[in-house]
A and B are shown apart, each in its own frame.
Chain A
Amino acid sequence: QKEVEQNSGPLSVPEGAIASLNCTYSDRGSQSFFWYRQYSGKSPELIMFIYSNGDKEDGRFTAQLNKASQYVSLLIRDSQPSDSATYLCAVNEWNNQGGKLIFGQGTELSVKP
């Protein structure tokens, strides 16, 4: 089992719709969770982070965390063509040396005009 798993997609949504991206993780000790956006040929950029159970909203983005179910999701409201990218879920796994950042395989999102 991969440590961090995402649906690889591609996920296609019409412009203006809600895009829902999901991620599960295996390490119950994980404390920090991140969503990165990566445009083709570019480096990943951080768009959301969440540390506590529940929802966290930032503009059109909402991150949701459920530690009991080991599940984290990203909702993008009013999706725009410029949101078309690969979205990477990352988990900061904790060990006796500190934390290491592990990524899922990414979900490709396509927003159609």
Chain B
Amino acid sequence: DADVTQTPRNRITKTGKRIMLECSQTKGHDRMYWYRQDPGLGLRLIYYSFDVKDINKGEISDGYSVSRQAQAKFSLSLESAIPNQTALYFCATSDWRTGKAFFGQGTRLTVV
């Protein structure tokens, strides 16, 4: 089983719909991240969390919200999806001592 698991792997949704992407991890890391990836733009940070009570905005948080339900679970929500949120989304965890990050398999989201 993967250490960092994202669900769903692929999703097509309509403009205006609410959608939630889920991430769970078995690595025991406190830090969790959500990134989106668009061609030529690398990974851009949406939100990050250092523990259950600590949530921080990244560089592109507008239009997104997150929930850290437990140390092992970090969900990303699009309250009202729009087409320019079509992207590949990655969840990651990291070890606070080394900073090394480990990624989920990614969720390919298409908003039509």
Contacts and interface: CB of A to CB of B under 8 A. Distances in A.
Interface of A: 6, 8, 31-32, 34, 36, 42-46, 49, 88, 90, 92, 97-106
11 contacts: A34-B100, A43-B104, A44-B90, A44-B103, A46-B102, A49-B99, A97-B56, A100-B33, A101-B94, A103-B42, A104-B42
B50 to A, nearest CB: 5
Contact of B99 (A6, A44, A92, A103): A92
A62 B24 CA distance: 33
A105 B41 contact: yes
- Size bracket of the B interface: 20 to 34
Contacts of A99: 96, 99
Interface of B: 31, 33, 35, 40-45, 48, 50, 54, 56, 58-59, 90, 92, 94, 96, 98-106
Sort A-B residue pairs by CB-CB distance and give the 5 closest, nearest first.
A105-B42, A32-B99, A92-B99, A43-B103, A103-B43
